[in-house]
């Protein structure tokens, strides 16, 4: 399996709404600003609304590169972002997830609902199966993912998930820590360590 040397693109999963907690919007904007300033391409769902739009607009405001991937059937529902340099219209949700996975070197999950959970857990499952070795971090803004993280721990204590596979779902309290976690994971991947490669066994 090919080793990652550095992060050039990050796939971000998040809500197409803003939610009720202002820290979610601030966190999305902060993440976008960080990606734009560091020259890291944002790969996301292509909408201009909600947290999706907030993170994309923040990247664009810093002169960064954004790739949006949106199913044709969702263009009206999610309101496709018309200010992107690269908006890719695909045939289905399945294709959207596959294209985003291919284009991304790593992944961040901001707060979101069913769609965000679907995307995040699919990419974690693919890592568990050894289909990729790209790190994924849950950006736990204002403790949004606390209950989910405890639930994941219960899968381990229940004997249904191995500790090494549980470690695939990293968590960070804010965007700065999230990017640092991704960079540290990529450094591990590139150093010849087997922490991630062993997950295919």
Q: Which CATH number goes with the domain that contains 111?
A: 3.40.50.450
Chain centroid offset of residue 2 CA: 20
What average pLDDT does this structure show over 30-39? 98
Residues 6+ apart with CB under 8 A from 119: 13, 97, 100, 109
Q: Is residue 1 part of a domain?
A: no
How is residue 68 written in tokens? Answer: 């949006």
Q: Is residue 4 part of a domain?
A: no
Q: Is residue 195 part of a domain?
A: no
Q: Is residue 181 part of a domain?
A: yes
Number of Cα atoms under 13 Å in the Cβ half of residue 135? 27
What average pLDDT does this structure show over 20-37? 98
Q: How many domains does the chain have?
A: 1
Q: Is residue 75 part of a domain?
A: yes
A 10 A CB-CB count for 167 gives: 15
Q: Is residue 197 part of a domain?
A: no
Q: For residues 124 and 135, what is the distance between their CA atoms, to the nearest angstrom?
A: 9
**Kind and range of the H or E run holding 69:** strand 66-71
Contact at 8 Å (CB) between 52 and 16?
A: yes
Q: Is residue 36 part of a domain?
A: yes
Total residue count of the chain as it appears in this document: 201
Which structural domain range is residue 171 located in?
Answer: 9-189
| In the predicted structure, residue 176 carries a pLDDT above the cut 70 | yes
Give 127-172 pLDDT, tens digit per residue: 999 999 999 999 999 999 999 999 999 999 999 999 999 999 999 9
Q: Is residue 196 part of a domain?
A: no
């Amino acid at each position: 399996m090919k080793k990652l040397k550095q992060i050039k693109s990050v796939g971000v999963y998040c809500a197409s709404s803003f939610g009720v907690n202002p820290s979610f919007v601030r966190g999305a904007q902060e993440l976008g600003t960080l990606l734009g300033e560091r020259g890291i391409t944002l790969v996301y769902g292509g909408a201009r609304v909600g947290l999706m739009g907030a993170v994309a607009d923040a990247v664009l405001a810093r002169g960064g590169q954004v790739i949006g991937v949106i199913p044709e059937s969702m263009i009206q529902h999610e309101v496709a972002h018309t200010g992107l340099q690269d908006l890719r219209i695909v045939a289905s949700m399945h294709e959207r997830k596959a294209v985003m996975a291919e284009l991304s070197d790593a992944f961040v999950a901001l707060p979101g609902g069913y769609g965000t959970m679907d995307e995040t857990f699919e990419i974690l499952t693919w890592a568990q199966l050894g289909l990729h070795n790209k790190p994924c971090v849950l950006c736990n803004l204002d403790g949004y993912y606390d209950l989910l993280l405890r639930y994941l721990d219960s899968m381990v204590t229940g004997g249904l998930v191995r500790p090494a596979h549980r470690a695939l779902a990293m968590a960070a309290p804010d965007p700065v820590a999230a990017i640092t976690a991704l960079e540290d994971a990529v450094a591990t991947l590139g150093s010849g360590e087997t922490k991630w490669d062993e997950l295919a066994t």
